[in-house]
Structures are given as structure tokens and as C-alpha cells.
Homo-oligomer: A and B are copies of this chain.
Amino acid sequence: MTDAVTTSETQIRSEAERPLRADARRNRERILDSARAVFAQYGADAQIDDVALHAGVGVGTVYRHFPNKDALLAELVRQKFRLFADRAREALEADGEPFEVIEALLRRNAATAAADVGIQYAMANAGEQAWTQAQAEQEELIAVTGQLIERARRAGAIRPDIEAIDIGMLMCGVCSTMLPRPGFDWRRHLDLAIDMLRTR
């Protein structure tokens, strides 16, 4: 699983990202994991120092890997998009009724997002930078999602005017209701959204 991500990362790594020394790579992963944990707990107020402490490295090490806080947040966002794109690609290979494949994918992704509230804070707070930095991954995700939709459309299983970006937007809306708001239930939100995608 993690290997799958690593592989795709290696493929994508474009220009300046020479393979890191083994220990550096390990640290990098630890820092990202810690960032997720710390942002999940403290939200936007989380500090780089806390991330470093949690990862068991010095602050300087965090800054060696990510030039500033925004870049760290952006990487979190990027990783999530990459994961979703990977899963979408897997879904494309999967057998099964086309709409059900999409539904399973969305439910799985939503569950992942809910289990990782840190990312919500990251996305709410990260400025333009995050979206720019993750652009490649997003486009990949959109493209593959487009293929999934196309297949379902041919099967007459999906509302015909739905586009890939719509699904992104709906999921973004679902995620926004994962933050602790009394009375809100993102599973219900997701059910409604999926229901809407179906052909009537």
C-alpha cells in the first residue's frame, strides 16, 4: 500500500527531487505523519515546533524538508490528492458495476478524509500555494475520475450531466462538514450526494 504511493511519487518527481538519503526519507515521512497528527489535534494553531517534537526531530530538520509552514501544509494536501488519484486508478482496473465502483471509491475516500481531520485544517488554512503545489495531482485525479464517469455514463448508471469536477466539488462540500459542527453528519451528507449522482 504505502509502496504503491512511493512508486507513483517516484514516477511523478519531476526536476529537483534527487532521491533522498535513507534516513532523510524516513525523517520526511515521520514529519508528514506528525504534521497530520498535530494539525488534527490543534487545528490551525498547531506549531512547527510541535510537529518537530512529535516527530522526534529538531525544528531545523522540518525546515530543511519544507521551507515554511505553508509548504508543509501544501505537501499534506498534495499527498492526499495523490492517494485519491492512485485509488481512482485502481478503481479503473476493478471489476464491478461502474456506478458501484465509483460509490465505493467515494465512500472510501470520505472515510479516509474523516479519519484525518488534520487535512481539513490544512486545506482551510493553506493559501494558494497548497493548490498550486498540488495541481499536477489534482489534474491527474480529475482525469481518472473523468474516465470512471465515462464508463458509468455508457452504462447509463450515472446522471448524464455529471462531470469529474462536480464530484470533486461535492466531496469538498462533504469534507467541509466533517469539522465538528453540532448536528452535522457527514455520512448523511455523503449519502445525499451519492444519491444525487445516480440516474433516476
The answer to whether A181 and B131 touch across the interface, beta carbons within 8 angstroms, is: yes
A40 → chain B closest CB, angstroms: 15
A41 → chain B closest CB, angstroms: 13
- Considering the chains assembled together, what is the distance between the CA atoms of A168 and B200 in angstroms? 24
Q: Inside 8 A of A165's CB, which chain B residues have their CB?
A: 183-185
Protomer copies: 4
Q: Which residues of A contact B (CB under 8 A)?
A: 43-44, 124-125, 127-128, 131, 142, 165-166, 168-170, 172-177, 180-185, 188-189, 192-193, 195-196, 200
Nearest first, the 7 A-B pairs at minimum CB distance are: A173-B173, A176-B176, A196-B196, A124-B124, A200-B200, A165-B183, A169-B189
Q: A176 with B172: in contact, given A44-B44, A196-B196 (CB under 8 Å)? A: yes
16 A-B pairs, CB-CB below 8 angstroms? Answer: A43-B127, A128-B180, A166-B188, A169-B177, A170-B173, A170-B189, A172-B173, A172-B184, A173-B173, A173-B174, A173-B177, A173-B189, A173-B193, A175-B176, A176-B176, A192-B196
